[in-house]
Amino acid sequence: MSMEMAIIDYLAKWLHYLVGITWIGLLYYFNFVQTEYFKEADPDARTDAFTKLAPRALWWFRWGAMFTLLTGLVMLGIRGAGLTIDIFIGSVMAILMFLNVWLIIWPNQKIVIASNEQIKAGGEALPEAAGAAPKAALASRTNTLFSIPMLYFMGSSAHLPNGSFDANMAGLIVTLVIVAALQLNAIFGKQGPLTTVKGVISCGFALWAVLLGVLVVTG
| pLDDT tens, residue order, the chain (219 aa) | 788 888 999 999 999 999 999 999 999 999 999 999 999 999 999 999 999 999 999 999 999 999 999 999 999 998 776 688 999 999 999 999 999 999 999 999 999 999 999 999 999 999 999 999 999 999 999 999 999 999 999 998 878 777 677 778 999 999 999 999 999 999 999 999 999 999 999 999 999 999 999 999 987
- Output the CA–CA distances (angstroms, integers) from residue 71 to 61, 77, 101, 145, 147, in the order listed: 16, 10, 17, 22, 17
**Kindly report the CA angle at 97 between 52 and 24, in degrees rounded to 5?**
55
Q: Which residues contact 217 (CB under 8 A, 6 or more apart)?
A: 171
Q: For residue 137, give the DSSP letter.
A: H
Q: For residue 83, give the DSSP letter.
A: -
Task: Using CA atoms of 6, 95, 59, 109 in order, give the dihedral in degrees to the nearest 10.
Answer: 180
Listed residue (38, 40, 63) closest to 113, CA to CA:
38
- Output the CA–CA distances (angstroms, integers) from residue 118 to 42, 121, 122, 136, in the order listed: 17, 5, 7, 19
Angle between helices 197-218 and 129-159 (to 10 degrees): 40
CA within 13 Å, CB half, 22:
18
Residue 203 near residue 194 (C-beta atoms within 8 A): yes
Give the sign of the dihedral formed by CA 178, CA 183, CA 184, CA 188.
Answer: positive
